[in-house]
Amino acid sequence: MAITPVVGTLAYIHDEESDQVLMIRRDARPDDDHFGKVNGLGGKVEKDENILFGIERELLEEAGITIIKNELRGVITWTDFGPKREDWLGFIFLVTKWEGSPKSFNDEGSLEWVPRYQLLDACSTDPAIQRKSELPIWEGDKHFIPLIFDSDPRVFYGVMPYEGEIFKGWDYKRL
């Protein structure tokens, strides 16, 4: 059965000098589908907007920065995702150069610099290491976040089914 997904972007802003990643702690609106989670920045692509314009607009709105250098790292199809059980097609970017000083807060929550090792620890298969990280990320994010930061230059293409908020699986290929 074909899906009609919400098209979105998601960016991980990496300060290579400090080896930290700008993340959003979704703590501003209790009615937010992602409330309580820590995530990259991004959002829905608007009508008549291409993917690159979408991520540029989102980062300017959410973080107050202008992208100078980014790289498409992956494309993911999420099905039956979240409280609204939506299907999403997401384009995942790694941003390594930008202009402007990132905001510390926006309408969705607090922006914070997280050490990259702490973000990767949250993705560990070892529960003890995950607990030390104390980053509440979606269960499925643990599978693709390491691919964003690895040394393989190929883009990954993945599918990640959910049943609402319950993670069901992960499969991907790289080309």
- What is the structure's pLDDT at 133? 78
pLDDT, tens digit (0-9, with 9 covering 90-100), for 6-25: 999 999 999 999 999 999 99
Rounded distance, CA 124 to CA 82, Å? 22
The total number of structural domains in the chain stands at 1
| 173 in any annotated domain | no
List, in sequence order, the alpha helices (H) in the chain: 51-63, 116-122, 127-133, 141-149
Segments forming the whole domain that contains residue 136: 6-168
Q: What percent of the chain has pLDDT over 90?
A: 88
Rounded distance, CA 143 to CA 171, Å? 9
Tokens of 136: 């509440």
| 59 in any annotated domain | yes
Q: Is 90 helix (H, G, I), strand (E, B) or coil?
A: strand
R_g (Cα) of the chain, nearest Å: 15
CB 148 within 8 A of CB 159: no
| 93 in any annotated domain | yes
Q: Average pLDDT over the chain, rounded to whole?
A: 95
Q: Is 148 helix (H, G, I), strand (E, B) or coil?
A: helix
Rounded distance, CA 7 to CA 118, Å? 29
| 1 in any annotated domain | no
Rounded distance, CA 122 to CA 47, Å? 34
Find the CATH number of the domain harbouring 58.
Answer: 3.90.79.10
| 175 in any annotated domain | no
- What is the structure's pLDDT at 145? 98
Which has the minimum average pLDDT: 3-12, 110-119, 122-131, 146-155? 122-131
- pTM confidence score: 0.95
pLDDT, tens digit (0-9, with 9 covering 90-100), for 55-95: 999 999 999 999 999 999 999 999 999 999 999 999 999 99
- Strand pairing class (66-81; 156-164): parallel
